[in-house]
Chain A
Amino acid sequence: MTRVRIENLVRSYGAHAVLKDISLDIADGEFLVLLGPSGCGKSTLLSAIAGLDQVQAGRILFDDRDVTRLEPSAREIGMVFQSYALYPTMTARANMAFALRVVGASRAEQEERVRWAADLLQIGHLLDRKPGQLSGGQRQRVAIGRSLVRKARLFLFDEPLSNLDAKLRTEMRNEIKALHERLGVTFVFVTHDQIEAMTLATRIAVMDAGVIQQVDTPDEIYRRPATRFVADFVGAPAMSFLEGELVAPDRVRIGENTVAVPDYAWRSAPRTGSVVFGVRPERVSVAPVPGTATVAARLRGIEPHGADTLVWAELSGQRLSARLTPEAAAGLPQSLHLDFEIEGVSLFDPDSGARL
């Protein structure tokens, strides 16, 4: 049972700052996902929490205990690595029991802990094999098992699914989620895959360039992204961004068109001036006839995705996409009348990228 508190963490390699004054609170029993593109500092942050990477400034607290200078082994953590990092010349059993063996645990205790973890992960029949004789998914299970055998209060996962194929990834994702529910301890999980983040997390911390952009529930991250970066990074197909101008508190002009934003949930009092108008593709629809709320656009292309079809349109010289059912996308005319649902609209400051 561990609460993690990160205070003003700084890590840089020479002149290159990887973590810039990071602060983050992780509640007990939470499944926190660190999400971001490669090089954003998410793995470095995880290494700092694990104690594998020294930080230059700031503190890390586990349940109010300062662990900033503690060795990883003293932090009571379990960690699963991207490459699995199993000891290749040892059997799965020896891999899992090695840490206990080194601290001099009795054979019976080693066997009991390994048995417990193996049952939990259903790898009992693999215990006598070496990593080279296991498939990727089985290795991953053994790696998780190894982290379970020591009594850990906090589990850290460093992109553990990125070396698996798509089907196995879905399977392991479900298993990790079930494991979290079963153990009830705190999980911190690093990934660049937004689907993993959305499906696993109780909260997601989106990182970019060494800064946490937003920490929120997956739903909140998706519906009300705090910055343009978050809006762009999360969501597939991606949000469309159009440059416009706020001409009245409920009106955005985009080129010669005007879009009404009557019920927009403003973060601060609206100020007229240029804005970035972002809209989720699934919240764009095509109206059969022009209405008071529709804007005129030209059809630019159609991408069938199977379950739905992505329609590309041009609005006053700027491109945007609409996610329609294949039926709705069939036989569209060249000139379209688009309708935006206000729930899918986000407005950003063009300079700072912050949500308005």
Chain B
Amino acid sequence: MAITPQATARFVLVPTILLTVVGYYGSILWTIGLSFTPSRILPVSRWAGLDMYERLLSTERWQVAYTNLFVFGGLYIGFCLAAGLLLAIALDQGVKGRSVYQTIFLYPIALSFIVTGLAWRWLLNPTTGLQDYVRSLGFESFSLDLLSSPERAIFTLVIAGVWHSAGLVMVILFAGLQSVDQEIWRAGRVDGIPRHRMYRHVVLPMLWPMVVTCLVLLGMNVVRSYDLVVALTGGGPGFSTDVPAKFIVDHYFERQSVGLASAAATLLLLTVVVLFALVGLLRRRGEAA
């Protein structure tokens, strides 16, 4: 029997498929399974029902971490979109030296969240960073102490995150703005439509699919936000800036409660699935529109 090129291609793909199925989906299933066991340092296979979920939901640290996911996520995505959009519109207006600005604003993306977190940690450190610098200029009463305040430390994550990712939104939306047919702008001028109304009623609705793309990319950053937190605040003060990903890693590898961590991971997965289903709905509505 002759081997067709298609058969060869499938054969070559077998290791990749196996790796994905076992390593990826298998791990997810295993994690879900473990969340129904009272595993501590090592996995055990004794059925414990929803015990771990009950314990998880009554753990204050998880409550804070889960709330932070939405506080940080909402503010981070909101400000990234707003800042990225404004920057993109500014570039689209034909600022001189456009490519220079583009590079400057896109540059932070090249840094990992670890580096971003460290840089902002130094910048916001009261004794070495901005506060010290401004005081040395003579403004003795100047105070910029976000990191040590449990209520406000979460905003340092937002600031650093937006600084890191707004450029990405800018680039995506700028590409969208550039793809708008110039004749549409000309039609708007003949019709006497002011620029800001053209943006609001005509151009932004046209960019909807790109906004959804940004939403997905930023959303993934929020869900996996671990490195930024570790580098910038370490989850503190206390556990005021904890996020689910950090909670999960800590409980798996440091606090030896595999069952609890698995329950948390499963809840996080569930949240993500729900959120992405919502995004899918948004996207379909954009297409219908």
Q: Which residues of A contact B (CB under 8 A)?
A: 47, 50-52, 71-74, 77-79, 81-83, 85-90, 98-99, 102-103, 130, 146-147, 150
Q: Which residue of the partner chain, among B181, B184, B186, B191, contacts A99 with CB atoms under 8 Å?
A: B191
A72, B189: Cβ atoms closer than 8 Å: yes
Bound-complex Cα distance A320 to B141 (A): 94
Bound-complex Cα distance A99 to B191 (A): 5
Q: Which residue of the partner chain, among B181, B191, B197, B206, contacts A73 with CB atoms under 8 Å?
A: B191
Bound-complex Cα distance A198 to B181 (A): 30
A50, B190: Cβ atoms closer than 8 Å: yes
Q: Which residues of B, 185-211, contact A by the 8 Å Cβ criterion?
A: 186-187, 189-194, 197, 201-202, 205-206, 208
Between A and B, how many residue pairs show CB distances below 8 Å? 68
**B140 beta carbon closer than 8 Å to chain A:** no
Bound-complex Cα distance A9 to B187 (A): 23
A99, B193: Cβ atoms closer than 8 Å: yes
Bound-complex Cα distance A90 to B205 (A): 9
Q: Which residue of the partner chain, among B183, B193, B289, contacts A102 with CB atoms under 8 Å?
A: B193
A87, B289: Cβ atoms closer than 8 Å: no
Bound-complex Cα distance A90 to B193 (A): 15
Known A-B contacts A83-B181, A89-B202; A52 and B191 likewise in contact (beta carbons under 8 Å): no
Q: How far is the CB of B173 from chain A (nearest CB, A)?
A: 16
For residue A83, which residues in chain B have a CB less than 8 angstroms away from its CB? Answer: 181, 183
A78, B192: Cβ atoms closer than 8 Å: no
Q: How many B residues are at the interface, by size bracket?
A: 10 to 19
B183, A99: Cβ atoms closer than 8 Å: no
Q: Which of B192, B193, B208, B289 has the most CB of A within 10 A?
A: B192
Q: How far is the CB of B190 from chain A (nearest CB, A)?
A: 5
Sorted nearest first, the 9 A-B pairs with minimum C-beta distance are: A73-B192, A89-B205, A85-B183, A99-B191, A85-B187, A81-B183, A79-B190, A87-B202, A72-B190
Q: Which residue of the partner chain, among B187, B201, B289, contacts A81 with CB atoms under 8 Å?
A: B187
A79, B206: Cβ atoms closer than 8 Å: no
A73, B205: Cβ atoms closer than 8 Å: no
For residue A50, which residues in chain B have a CB less than 8 angstroms away from its CB? Answer: 186, 190
Bound-complex Cα distance A130 to B286 (A): 13
A102, B191: Cβ atoms closer than 8 Å: yes
For residue B187, which residues in chain A have a CB less than 8 angstroms away from its CB? Answer: 79, 81, 85-87, 146
Closest to A53 in B: B186
Known A-B contacts A87-B202, A89-B202, A89-B205; A102 and B190 likewise in contact (beta carbons under 8 Å): no
A146, B191: Cβ atoms closer than 8 Å: yes
